Amino acid sequence: MANGKIQLDTSRLAIILNNLKASMEEFESYTMTFRTQTRDQLDDFQSDFASKASELLTNMRDDVKSDLLDKLTNLHACGESILTKMQEQDEALSQAMQGGKR
């Protein structure tokens, strides 16, 4: 904030929000496939380690992932809302300025 004015680079914010969305999608698919694929690979092994590891993977429910994704989804939605409101305000101010010059 300089001289009491809010400065927001909407293009940069849009890029950041797109990166966040892509990261969320990648994280979600990774966590869904990792646990299942790893557990499936352990099914062929007959050892205490394999059974314990499989049990651990089974117990790795999606609680943490869901909580994290919920928070990231909320953060993304708030960012999108800020971006939309700032773009609307910028457009309204631009139109008002153009109307005043005529």
Spell out the per-residue pLDDT of the chain, length 102, in tens: 457 677 778 899 999 999 999 999 888 776 667 777 777 777 777 777 877 877 777 776 656 677 888 899 999 999 999 999 999 988 898 888 888 654
Distances 48 to 42, 61, 69 between C-alpha atoms, Å: 11, 21, 33
All structural domains of the chain with their residue ranges: 10-94
Q: Which amino acid is at 64?
A: V
pTM, rounded to two decimals: 0.63
